[in-house]
Amino acid sequence: MTLEQLEALTAETAKPAGLEDLSNNLVFGEGDPDAKLMIVGEGPGEDEDLSGRPFVGRAGQLLDKILESVKLHRDEIYITNIVKYRPPGNRNPNQQEVQASEPLLLEQIKLIRPQIIATLGNVPTQYFLKTTDGITKLHGNWFDWHSVKIYPLYHPAYLLRNPSREKGSPKWQMWEDMKKLKESLDSLGSKEGKLVIDNAQQDALF
């Protein structure tokens, strides 16, 4: 089975029990099916629901800038969400929805075989790490999940609400975390060139 076949099958199949109340448009995920890095968010928002693509609204635009700041582009990684349908009113997916979405997410991971999964915000982080600790504590640290490295990051929507770039701020911490992520990707032999650490880059970009 390829990712494309899995997407077509998912789009044709009725939603699993537990997801019936969510919006109808499937937001499956997109990017390089061979990616070393997979990014997993929470669930689609309104813009994603309308377009069928993950992270295309304001948070997604900030995510693109964050990736660009360490010379990454979304077509060389794979971006998806834990929950593939929009929760009503942009609320966070609940436990039941996360559990019901699990088989499809695991199937995607099996097909892509990423070496690193960066989790954005509490919902995907707590899912993979089976913890109730929050992202403020966990971000920027490496964890093992079935031999895949899990790397929690702040959710870009949180950074939109906390725009300061002062030392110690969430955005400043995100920049530190992204540099570590890029270094780790480079050490895996990433397709991109090594990052020349340049703090001006963050100022210009996000």
Point out which residues bind ligand URA (CB under 6 A): 41-45, 48, 54-55, 57, 59-60, 81, 157
Q: In sequence order, which residues have a C-beta less than 8 Å from that of residue 122 and are 6 or more positions away?
A: 92, 134, 135, 155
Closest CB 98 distance from ligand URA, rounded Å: 12
- Residue 70 in tokens: 């360490």
CA distances in angstroms from 141 to 10, 30, 63, 77, 126, listed in the order given:
33, 25, 19, 20, 13
Nearer to ligand URA, 60 or 114 (CB): 60
Burial string for 122-150 (b: 16+ CB within 10 Å, else e) reads bbbbbbbbeeeeebeebbbeebeeeebbb
Closest CB 81 distance from ligand URA, rounded Å: 5
Nearer to ligand URA, 31 or 60 (CB): 60
- The C-alpha R_g of the chain, in whole angstroms, comes to 16
CB–CB of 91/136 below 8 Å? no
The CB-nearest residue to ligand URA is 41
Closest CB 82 distance from ligand URA, rounded Å: 8
Nearer to ligand URA, 50 or 205 (CB): 50
Nearer to ligand URA, 86 or 195 (CB): 86
Closest CB 105 distance from ligand URA, rounded Å: 13
Closest CB 143 distance from ligand URA, rounded Å: 19
Q: In sequence order, which residues have a C-beta less than 8 Å from that of residue 197 and are 6 or more positions away?
A: 179
Nearer to ligand URA, 70 or 82 (CB): 82
